[in-house]
Homo-oligomer: A and B are copies of this chain.
Amino acid sequence: STAPSHMDLHNQGRSKFMEFPYVSAPHKKLMVDLVSTVENRLDSQLFPCTLPHDVQSYHNQNGTSHASLHIRSGHKSSPIDFVLGSWIHCELPTGGALNITSLSTYLNSSTDAPNFLIEIIRNSPTSLIVILDLPPRKDLVLIPDYLKTFYEDTKLEAQRQLLEKVPEVKPYFSSSLYIRSVVSPTAIMVRIEAEAVERLEEIIEDYVDPISKEVLRIWLEQCACVKREVNDEAEKNYLQKRDKFVKTKTIEIDLASSLPRLFGPETADRVMAAVKKYFSS
Protein backbone atom coordinates (compact mmCIF):
# COMPACT_ATOMS: atom_id res chain seq x y z
CA SER A 1 0.00 0.00 0.00
CA THR A 2 1.22 3.51 -0.81
CA ALA A 3 -0.97 5.32 1.72
CA PRO A 4 1.07 6.32 4.76
CA SER A 5 -0.09 5.02 8.13
CA HIS A 6 -1.62 7.44 10.62
CA MET A 7 1.49 7.22 12.80
CA ASP A 8 3.77 7.99 9.81
CA LEU A 9 1.63 10.99 8.88
CA HIS A 10 1.75 12.18 12.47
CA ASN A 11 5.47 11.66 13.00
CA GLN A 12 6.56 13.25 9.74
CA GLY A 13 4.25 16.23 10.21
CA ARG A 14 5.24 16.65 13.84
CA SER A 15 8.96 16.70 13.17
CA LYS A 16 8.51 19.35 10.44
CA PHE A 17 6.26 21.38 12.74
CA MET A 18 8.70 21.19 15.65
CA GLU A 19 11.55 22.54 13.50
CA PHE A 20 10.22 26.13 13.68
CA PRO A 21 12.87 26.73 11.00
CA TYR A 22 12.48 30.47 10.50
CA VAL A 23 12.41 31.89 14.03
CA SER A 24 15.25 32.78 16.40
CA ALA A 25 16.69 30.27 18.87
CA PRO A 26 14.91 31.64 21.98
CA HIS A 27 11.62 31.89 20.07
CA LYS A 28 11.98 28.28 18.81
CA LYS A 29 13.00 27.00 22.25
CA LEU A 30 9.91 28.61 23.81
CA MET A 31 7.52 27.09 21.25
CA VAL A 32 9.13 23.62 21.40
CA ASP A 33 8.99 23.67 25.20
CA LEU A 34 5.32 24.73 25.26
CA VAL A 35 4.26 22.09 22.71
CA SER A 36 6.30 19.40 24.50
CA THR A 37 4.81 20.33 27.85
CA VAL A 38 1.26 20.00 26.49
CA GLU A 39 2.13 16.72 24.77
CA ASN A 40 3.84 15.21 27.80
CA ARG A 41 0.96 16.10 30.07
CA LEU A 42 -1.90 15.22 27.72
CA ASP A 43 -0.39 12.64 25.33
CA SER A 44 -2.51 9.73 26.56
CA GLN A 45 -5.67 11.75 25.79
CA LEU A 46 -4.70 12.84 22.27
CA PHE A 47 -5.02 11.14 18.88
CA PRO A 48 -2.14 11.49 16.42
CA CYS A 49 -2.35 14.34 13.90
CA THR A 50 -4.23 13.00 10.88
CA LEU A 51 -4.13 16.09 8.68
CA PRO A 52 -3.05 15.34 5.08
CA HIS A 53 0.65 15.89 4.32
CA ASP A 54 -0.10 18.96 2.20
CA VAL A 55 -1.97 20.60 5.10
CA GLN A 56 0.58 19.69 7.76
CA SER A 57 3.10 21.59 5.63
CA TYR A 58 2.30 23.96 2.77
CA HIS A 59 3.77 26.86 0.82
CA ASN A 60 2.95 29.24 -2.00
CA GLN A 61 4.00 28.74 -5.62
CA ASN A 62 7.15 30.83 -5.64
CA GLY A 63 8.24 29.55 -2.22
CA THR A 64 8.16 32.89 -0.39
CA SER A 65 5.50 31.73 2.10
CA HIS A 66 5.78 28.50 4.07
CA ALA A 67 3.62 27.15 6.88
CA SER A 68 3.06 24.17 9.14
CA LEU A 69 -0.06 23.03 10.95
CA HIS A 70 -0.38 20.34 13.61
CA ILE A 71 -3.77 19.45 15.10
CA ARG A 72 -4.49 16.61 17.54
CA SER A 73 -8.03 15.76 18.66
CA GLY A 74 -8.78 14.58 22.18
CA HIS A 75 -10.21 11.16 22.97
CA LYS A 76 -13.96 10.92 23.62
CA SER A 77 -13.33 10.53 27.37
CA SER A 78 -10.95 13.51 27.51
CA PRO A 79 -11.96 17.13 28.26
CA ILE A 80 -9.67 18.16 25.36
CA ASP A 81 -11.48 19.01 22.13
CA PHE A 82 -8.25 19.56 20.20
CA VAL A 83 -4.78 21.08 20.39
CA LEU A 84 -3.60 23.23 17.48
CA GLY A 85 -0.04 24.31 16.77
CA SER A 86 1.07 26.30 13.75
CA TRP A 87 3.75 28.47 12.27
CA ILE A 88 3.68 30.72 9.23
CA HIS A 89 6.65 32.31 7.50
CA CYS A 90 6.30 34.95 4.76
CA GLU A 91 8.99 36.92 3.04
CA LEU A 92 7.88 40.54 2.90
CA PRO A 93 8.15 42.66 -0.25
CA THR A 94 10.16 45.12 1.86
CA GLY A 95 12.92 42.52 2.34
CA GLY A 96 12.15 41.34 5.88
CA ALA A 97 9.94 38.46 6.94
CA LEU A 98 6.81 37.92 8.98
CA ASN A 99 6.83 34.93 11.33
CA ILE A 100 3.83 33.81 13.35
CA THR A 101 3.90 30.86 15.75
CA SER A 102 0.92 29.77 17.78
CA LEU A 103 -0.37 27.13 20.13
CA SER A 104 -4.00 26.94 21.21
CA THR A 105 -5.96 24.34 23.09
CA TYR A 106 -9.72 23.95 23.06
CA LEU A 107 -11.67 22.10 25.73
CA ASN A 108 -15.00 20.38 25.03
CA SER A 109 -18.34 20.83 26.75
CA SER A 110 -17.63 18.26 29.48
CA THR A 111 -15.96 21.21 31.26
CA ASP A 112 -16.46 24.98 31.28
CA ALA A 113 -12.83 25.78 32.09
CA PRO A 114 -11.01 28.36 29.93
CA ASN A 115 -8.94 27.51 26.85
CA PHE A 116 -5.26 28.33 26.35
CA LEU A 117 -3.83 30.54 23.62
CA ILE A 118 -0.42 31.88 22.69
CA GLU A 119 0.41 33.68 19.48
CA ILE A 120 3.81 35.25 18.82
CA ILE A 121 4.09 37.52 15.81
CA ARG A 122 7.57 38.65 14.77
CA ASN A 123 7.04 41.32 12.16
CA SER A 124 10.56 42.75 12.15
CA PRO A 125 13.94 41.78 13.70
CA THR A 126 13.31 44.19 16.58
CA SER A 127 9.58 43.92 17.15
CA LEU A 128 7.23 41.30 18.47
CA ILE A 129 3.53 41.00 19.28
CA VAL A 130 2.54 38.53 22.00
CA ILE A 131 -1.00 37.36 22.69
CA LEU A 132 -1.13 35.05 25.70
CA ASP A 133 -4.38 34.25 27.45
CA LEU A 134 -6.79 31.77 28.93
CA PRO A 135 -9.88 32.88 26.98
CA PRO A 136 -13.00 32.43 29.11
CA ARG A 137 -15.85 30.21 27.93
CA LYS A 138 -18.62 32.05 29.78
CA ASP A 139 -19.83 35.64 30.17
CA LEU A 140 -17.66 36.84 33.07
CA VAL A 141 -20.09 39.67 33.82
CA LEU A 142 -22.87 37.23 34.72
CA ILE A 143 -20.73 34.62 36.51
CA PRO A 144 -18.37 36.28 39.02
CA ASP A 145 -17.51 32.87 40.52
CA TYR A 146 -15.95 31.89 37.22
CA LEU A 147 -13.94 35.11 37.18
CA LYS A 148 -12.77 34.43 40.73
CA THR A 149 -11.83 30.78 40.18
CA PHE A 150 -9.94 31.10 36.93
CA TYR A 151 -8.63 34.67 36.92
CA GLU A 152 -8.42 36.03 40.46
CA ASP A 153 -7.44 32.91 42.42
CA THR A 154 -4.92 31.83 39.76
CA LYS A 155 -3.11 35.19 40.03
CA LEU A 156 -2.87 35.53 36.26
CA GLU A 157 -2.75 39.31 36.67
CA ALA A 158 0.67 39.02 38.34
CA GLN A 159 2.04 37.45 35.13
CA ARG A 160 0.57 40.24 33.01
CA GLN A 161 2.14 42.84 35.29
CA LEU A 162 5.56 41.15 35.16
CA LEU A 163 5.68 41.65 31.40
CA GLU A 164 4.09 45.11 31.52
CA LYS A 165 7.01 46.37 33.64
CA VAL A 166 9.59 45.76 30.88
CA PRO A 167 10.28 49.22 29.40
CA GLU A 168 10.08 48.02 25.78
CA VAL A 169 6.62 46.51 26.33
CA LYS A 170 3.55 48.44 25.16
CA PRO A 171 -0.08 47.33 25.14
CA TYR A 172 -1.28 45.91 21.84
CA PHE A 173 -4.83 46.50 20.64
CA SER A 174 -5.98 43.94 18.08
CA SER A 175 -7.64 45.60 15.09
CA SER A 176 -10.45 43.05 15.53
CA LEU A 177 -12.93 44.13 18.21
CA TYR A 178 -14.14 40.53 18.28
CA ILE A 179 -10.70 39.26 19.33
CA ARG A 180 -10.62 41.95 22.04
CA SER A 181 -14.00 40.68 23.28
CA VAL A 182 -12.95 37.04 23.33
CA VAL A 183 -9.94 37.46 25.60
CA SER A 184 -9.98 37.58 29.39
CA PRO A 185 -9.40 40.66 31.61
CA THR A 186 -5.91 39.33 32.41
CA ALA A 187 -4.98 38.73 28.77
CA ILE A 188 -1.44 39.63 27.81
CA MET A 189 -1.66 41.55 24.54
CA VAL A 190 1.57 43.43 24.01
CA ARG A 191 3.84 44.87 21.38
CA ILE A 192 7.55 44.73 22.21
CA GLU A 193 9.76 47.19 20.35
CA ALA A 194 13.47 46.78 21.14
CA GLU A 195 16.35 48.96 19.99
CA ALA A 196 18.42 45.96 18.90
CA VAL A 197 17.81 42.34 17.86
CA GLU A 198 19.87 41.05 20.81
CA ARG A 199 17.71 42.92 23.29
CA LEU A 200 14.53 41.49 21.78
CA GLU A 201 15.95 37.95 22.05
CA GLU A 202 16.86 38.71 25.67
CA ILE A 203 13.29 39.85 26.42
CA ILE A 204 11.97 36.62 24.88
CA GLU A 205 14.34 34.51 27.01
CA ASP A 206 13.96 36.43 30.27
CA TYR A 207 10.29 37.40 30.18
CA VAL A 208 8.12 35.97 27.40
CA ASP A 209 9.50 32.45 27.95
CA PRO A 210 8.99 32.08 31.72
CA ILE A 211 5.69 33.99 31.72
CA SER A 212 4.21 31.86 28.91
CA LYS A 213 5.30 28.71 30.69
CA GLU A 214 3.71 29.85 33.95
CA VAL A 215 0.42 30.67 32.19
CA LEU A 216 0.47 27.25 30.49
CA ARG A 217 1.23 25.60 33.85
CA ILE A 218 -1.79 27.39 35.35
CA TRP A 219 -3.94 26.21 32.45
CA LEU A 220 -2.75 22.60 32.72
CA GLU A 221 -3.17 22.42 36.50
CA GLN A 222 -6.24 24.58 37.07
CA CYS A 223 -8.18 24.20 33.82
CA ALA A 224 -7.29 21.13 31.75
CA CYS A 225 -6.79 18.74 34.64
CA VAL A 226 -9.51 19.82 37.07
CA LYS A 227 -12.95 18.19 37.11
CA ARG A 228 -15.72 20.72 36.52
CA GLU A 229 -19.33 19.58 36.76
CA VAL A 230 -21.27 20.44 33.60
CA ASN A 231 -24.25 18.17 34.04
CA ASP A 232 -26.99 20.52 33.01
CA GLU A 233 -28.02 20.02 29.36
CA ALA A 234 -28.80 23.72 28.99
CA GLU A 235 -25.30 24.66 30.16
CA LYS A 236 -23.72 22.09 27.82
CA ASN A 237 -25.72 23.52 24.92
CA TYR A 238 -24.67 27.05 25.88
CA LEU A 239 -21.00 26.05 25.97
CA GLN A 240 -21.25 24.23 22.64
CA LYS A 241 -22.95 27.19 21.02
CA ARG A 242 -20.49 29.75 22.41
CA ASP A 243 -17.43 27.59 21.63
CA LYS A 244 -18.58 27.05 18.07
CA PHE A 245 -19.17 30.78 17.65
CA VAL A 246 -15.72 31.64 18.93
CA LYS A 247 -14.04 29.04 16.73
CA THR A 248 -15.94 30.09 13.59
CA LYS A 249 -15.17 33.77 14.13
CA THR A 250 -11.53 33.02 15.00
CA ILE A 251 -11.00 31.13 11.72
CA GLU A 252 -12.69 33.93 9.80
CA ILE A 253 -10.49 36.59 11.39
CA ASP A 254 -7.22 34.64 11.59
CA LEU A 255 -7.20 32.57 8.41
CA ALA A 256 -9.95 33.35 5.90
CA SER A 257 -8.60 36.84 5.31
CA SER A 258 -4.88 36.08 5.15
CA LEU A 259 -4.39 32.56 3.72
CA PRO A 260 -5.55 33.29 0.14
CA ARG A 261 -3.31 36.36 -0.01
CA LEU A 262 -0.26 34.52 1.33
CA PHE A 263 -0.65 31.08 -0.25
CA GLY A 264 -3.01 31.48 -3.22
CA PRO A 265 -6.68 30.45 -3.34
CA GLU A 266 -6.12 26.73 -4.01
CA THR A 267 -3.85 26.07 -1.02
CA ALA A 268 -5.98 28.36 1.14
CA ASP A 269 -9.12 26.39 0.28
CA ARG A 270 -7.40 23.07 1.03
CA VAL A 271 -6.10 24.22 4.41
CA MET A 272 -9.36 25.94 5.38
CA ALA A 273 -11.39 22.84 4.55
CA ALA A 274 -9.14 20.68 6.74
CA VAL A 275 -9.18 23.14 9.63
CA LYS A 276 -12.95 23.64 9.49
CA LYS A 277 -13.49 19.96 10.35
CA TYR A 278 -12.10 20.67 13.79
CA PHE A 279 -13.57 24.13 14.25
CA SER A 280 -17.16 23.45 13.25
CA SER A 281 -17.87 20.32 15.26
Q: State the A residues within 8 Å of B (CB).
A: 139-142, 144, 147, 151-152, 157, 171, 177-178, 180-182, 185-186, 241-242, 245-246, 249
- Candidates B180, B185, B241; contact of A181 at CB < 8 Å: B185
Distance to closest chain B CB from A223 (angstroms): 16
Q: Are A246 and B141 in contact (CB under 8 A)?
A: yes
Complex alpha-carbon distance, A168 and B270, angstroms: 48
A112 to B142, CA, bound (A): 15
A178 adjacent to B147 (CB under 8 Å) = yes
Q: List 30 A-B contacts (CB under 8 A).
A: A139-B139, A139-B141, A139-B142, A139-B242, A140-B177, A140-B178, A140-B181, A141-B178, A141-B181, A141-B182, A141-B242, A141-B245, A141-B246, A142-B241, A142-B242, A142-B245, A144-B178, A144-B245, A144-B249, A147-B177, A147-B178, A147-B181, A151-B177, A157-B177, A171-B171, A177-B185, A177-B186, A178-B185, A180-B185, A181-B185
Closest B residue to A151 by beta carbon equals B177
CA distance A144 to B245 in the complex (A): 9
Contacts of A178 in B (CB 8 A): 140-141, 144, 147, 185
A152 to chain B: which residues have CB within 8 Å?
177
Q: How far is the CB of A58 from chain B (nearest CB, A)?
A: 29
* Chain B CB within 10 A, most for which of A139, A151, A171, A241: A139
Per the bound structure, the CA–CA distance linking A28 and B245 in Å amounts to 45
| In the complex, chain B residues whose CB is within 8 Å of the CB of A241 | 142
Q: How near does chain B come to A74, taking the closest CB pair, in angstroms?
A: 22
- Contacts of A147 on B, CB cut-off 8 Å? 177-178, 181
Q: Output the least CB separation between A80 and chain B (Å).
A: 21
Specify the chain B residue showing the minimal Cβ separation from A245. B142
Interfacial chain B residues near A182, Cβ < 8 Å: 141
Q: Report the bound CA distance from A185 to B139 in whole Å.
A: 14
> How near does chain B come to A22, taking the closest CB pair, in angstroms?
31
- Min C-beta distance of A109 to chain B, whole Å: 15
Bound complex: CA A151 to CA B157 (Å): 26
By Cβ-Cβ distance, the 8 closest A-B pairs, closest first, are A180-B185, A140-B181, A139-B139, A177-B185, A171-B171, A181-B185, A141-B181, A151-B177
Query: Complex: how many Å from CA A244 to CA B198?
Result: 52
Instruction: Give every chain B residue within 8 A of A140 (Cβ-Cβ).
Output: 177-178, 181
Given contact pairs A139-B242, A144-B245, enumerate 11 new A-B contacts (beta carbons under 8 Å).
A139-B139, A140-B178, A141-B178, A141-B182, A141-B242, A141-B246, A144-B178, A147-B177, A147-B181, A151-B177, A181-B185
Q: In the complex, A151 Cα to B245 Cα: how many Å? A: 19
